[in-house]
Amino acid sequence: MFKSFGVVLIKQKFHISTGQELKPDRQALYSLFIALLLSMSPHLGRLPAGFAVLAIFAFGWRYKIITANWQSPGSIFRIIIIFSVLFFLFQHYHTLLGRDAGVAMLVALTMLKFLELKTMRDYMLVVFLCLFIAMTSFLYSQSLWLGVYLMAVLIILFTVMMYLNHSNREKPFLMLKRAAGMVMMGLPVAILLFLLFPRLPGGLFGLPGDSHSGLTGMSDTMKPGSINELNQSEKVAFRVEFNGRLPAAKQRYWRGLVLENYEQGVWKESRLAMAVATPISYAKESAIEYSILQEPSNQKWIFALDMPVSKSAALKWGKGQTLRSSGLIRERKQLQMISATEYKFTTISDDILQRNFDKSSIKGERLAHLAEELYRQAGSDREYIKVVFDYYRNNEFFYTLQPPLLDDKPVQTFMLDTRKGYCEHYASSFTAMMRLAGIPARVVIGYQGGEWNEQGGYLIVRQSDAHAWSEVWLEESGWVRVDPTSAVAPERIEFGLSAIRQLMEQGQPLGNVAGEKLQAILAGSLFSQTIKGVKLFWDGVNTRWYKWVIDYGAKNQSNLLHWMGFQKTDWSKLVFLLVGLISLVVSIQAWILFRRKKIIDPAVRQYQKFCHRLSRAGIDRSPSEGPASFARRIIRLRPDLQERVMPVTEAYIAIIYAGITDTKQQQKLARAVHEFRPT
C-alpha cells in the first residue's frame, strides 16, 4: 500500500502530472482570453475593426472544442485562415512591415493560436505572446498611465501562468497576491538596473519609419488653412522652464521659421537666404535663460523665445535668426537657450533687402491703390504701420476660425471684400501692404502665448497656440515685430486662442470685452476650474515622468553618480557597484523570506513539532529527507504508528506542495499533530 507512497499520494490525491501535460479546462480558456484582452487593450483604437470578428471566431471555436467536442481545424484550413488574415492586413496597411502592421500581425496570429490549443505548452505560449503584445504598447506611448496599467497587466499575466500550472484553482485571488508579491520583489532590482546600468548615448535600436507618421508639427510654408489645422489640436508642442522671470504674455512669441518668398498665395522660406546668426544688440537685463522640452514633431525647427541670442550646442542657426536641429526631431529633446525681449538688428545685407522688397506676386490693382493712398496719408514708414493698423480696426475686420474662401488674388479679396480671417490672413495681408509701400517685410510663423502650469512651474505651449506675425525693417530699429492680429483680436495675444473660442461661443464681440467682465468669462465655473487644475497637475506629474524616467540617459546617470559621491566613474566601477547593490538587495530579500517562512508559516511549525516528538522516540529526520520518504521510513521502523503518521503527512503535503492553505486544512494538520503521541 505504501509502495511509492509519495508519488502515488501526490499524483492521485492532488492530480499533479509527473509525465504528460494535462489538457486545460474551460476556466483556463477564460483566463487566457482575459489575458489577451488586457494585453491588447491599449491597441484597440488602432487595430482594424475586423479583429473583433477574428477574436470571436477563434475563441468561439476553441470554446466549442472544449464544451461540445468539436474537431480542431485541420492544417490546411489553418493555413488558409493565416494567409487570409495576412492578405487582409496587407490590404489595410499596404505592408506587412513596420510598427503598425507588425503589431497588428502579432495580435492576429496570437488570436489564431487559440485554434490549436492542445497542451499546457500551447497555453503558456499564448501567455508569453501576451507579454510581447503588452510591451509593444511602449512603441506608441511611454506615459505614466500606460506604465501603471502595464504593470497591472504583468501581474495578471503572472497570475494566469500560476493558474494554468496549478491543480487547485479555487484560490485565484491568492495567486494574484502571490504574483503581485513576485513583481514587487523584482522591482528593486529592476530600479537598480535602470539607474546604474551603463548608458550609451542615443537609442539602442531604431524604430520603424511609420513610428513617426502620426507626429504633428508646423509646416515650412504658410497658406490659408495651414495654421488653422494646428489650431484645432490640443497636443503639446513644447514646454518651457524659465531660470528667472516669466516674460509677459505679449512677449511670448516663439520664433520658428522666417518666410520671405511669396508665390501664388503661399509664403515660403527663401532658398537663397543664409543660415547664419545675425548680429544683434540687446540689453542684458532683457535676457532670459530657459530650457525647452521639445516634443517630437518629425521636423527640424526649434521654437525659441523671440529673439534667440544664444543656443544649445546641439542646435545650429537657421535662416532669419531661427534655430534648427541637426536631424528630424523624432524623440523628446531638452535644450538650454537664452533670448532677449529687447533687441536691435544692427545690419542688413542688400540681398535680404531685395528679397523682402519683392512684390511681384502680390496681385490686385485695387490693393496697390489702397496701399498708395494709405502711405500718402501716413507720410513715413513708421506712421504707415499705424495707419494700416487703424485700417484693420476701423473697417469691420473680423477674427474667425472659419473664414470664407479666397480667389486668385487672396490678399486683395481679404483686405477689400471678405475681411474675415485669422492670424495667417492678417500676417500675410499686412506683409503684402508693407511691400507695396516699399517697406521690407516678411512673415514669421511659430507659436504665441502658452498656458502657465503653477503646480509644475513651467509653460505649456500647444499646437493650438500656432501663430503667424510680421517683421518690418525700419532704418532706426532694424527688424521690428508687428502682429496685425492684435489690431482685431487683442484677446488672442493676451489670453490665447482658448479665450477667443470662449468669447465666440458666448457671442461676445472681440476687442470690446475688457476688465473684470473678461476675467470672469475666461475663468469659467468652479467645476471647469477644478477640471483644469486636475489636468495641469497631471501634466506636471507626467512631465516629471518623461524627464526623469523616460528620458533618463547618460547625462542624468552621470549627475546621479556625482550626487552619490562618485566624481569619475568608468564602466568597470559602475558594473561593480551594480553587482554589489543587487547582491545586497537579493540577500536582504532572501533573509526576509527565510525569516517570514520560519516565523509565520504555521504548517512548518506544526511539522517541526511532529518531527521533534519522533526524535524523542528515537526516530530522527534527515535534512534531505522529504515528508513522504520520512513517512515510509517511520512506518517501516514502527508499523504501529501508521494510523497516526499518515494524517500528519497527508495534511502537511497538501498545504506545502499542493497549496491547499485554507483554515480547514491548517486545523486538520494541527489536530493530527496534537493527537500524535509516539510511545
Are residue 157 and residue 259 in the same domain, yes or no? no
Taking alpha carbons only, the member of 617, 659, 668 closest to residue 641 is 617
Q: Band of the pLDDT at 64, cuts 50, 70, 90?
A: confident
Does the bond joining 124 to the residue before it have cis omega, within 30 degrees of 0?
no
For residue 279, what pLDDT is reported? Answer: 82
What's the pLDDT tens digit per position in 1-55?
Answer: 333 333 333 333 333 333 344 455 788 888 889 999 999 999 988 899 888 888 8
Looking at the structure of the chain, the number of domains it has is 3
Are residue 268 and residue 384 in the same domain, yes or no? yes
- CB burial of residue 78 (10 Å; 0-12, 13-18, 19+): middle
Is 114 within the bounds of a domain? yes
Are residue 133 and residue 242 in the same domain, yes or no? no
CA distance 218 to 288: 25
CA distance 465 to 236: 9
Using an 8 Å Cβ cutoff, are 118 and 23 in contact? yes
Taking alpha carbons only, the member of 48, 42, 49, 235 closest to residue 139 is 42
What's the pLDDT tens digit per position in 620-663?
Answer: 888 888 899 999 999 999 988 888 899 999 999 988 888 787 78
Q: Band of the pLDDT at 510, cuts 50, 70, 90?
A: low
For residue 481, what pLDDT is reported? Answer: 93
Are residue 144 and residue 231 in the same domain, yes or no? no
Is 304 within the bounds of a domain? yes
Residue carrying the nine cell digits 472544449: 66
Are residue 288 and residue 433 in the same domain, yes or no? yes
For residue 38, what pLDDT is reported? Answer: 93
Residue carrying the nine cell digits 523671440: 306
pTM of the entire predicted model: 0.71
Least confident of 101-110, 173-182, 212-221, 238-247: 212-221
CA distance 663 to 658: 15
Are residue 383 and residue 476 in the same domain, yes or no? yes
| Summary mean pLDDT of the chain | 83
Are residue 347 and residue 427 in the same domain, yes or no? yes
Are residue 225 and residue 150 in the same domain, yes or no? no
Is 183 within the bounds of a domain? no
For residue 105, what pLDDT is reported? Answer: 93
CA distance 183 to 524: 45
CA distance 227 to 298: 17
Are residue 128 and residue 258 in the same domain, yes or no? no
Is 584 within the bounds of a domain? no
- Side chain identity, residue 526: L
Is 573 within the bounds of a domain? no
What's the pLDDT tens digit per position in 445-470?
Answer: 999 989 899 888 899 999 888 899 99
Distances in whole angstroms, Cα of residue 600 to Cα of each of 31, 63, 173, 604: 31, 42, 20, 9
Q: Band of the pLDDT at 241, cuts 50, 70, 90?
A: very high
Query: Which range of residues forms the domain containing residue 655?
Result: 601-675
Are residue 605 and residue 503 in the same domain, yes or no? no
CA distance 374 to 392: 12
Is 414 within the bounds of a domain? yes
Is 173 within the bounds of a domain? no
Are residue 521 and residue 661 in the same domain, yes or no? no
Taking alpha carbons only, the member of 76, 75, 97 closest to residue 86 is 97
What's the pLDDT tens digit per position in 132-153?
Answer: 999 999 888 888 889 899 999 9
The half-sphere exposure of 139 on its side-chain side, counting CA atoms within 13 A, is 23
What is the DSSP code (8-state) at residue 625?
A: -
Is 568 within the bounds of a domain? no
Diameter over CA atoms, the chain? 126
Are residue 116 and residue 227 in the same domain, yes or no? no
Q: Band of the pLDDT at 480, cuts 50, 70, 90?
A: very high
Using an 8 Å Cβ cutoff, are 40 and 192 in contact? no
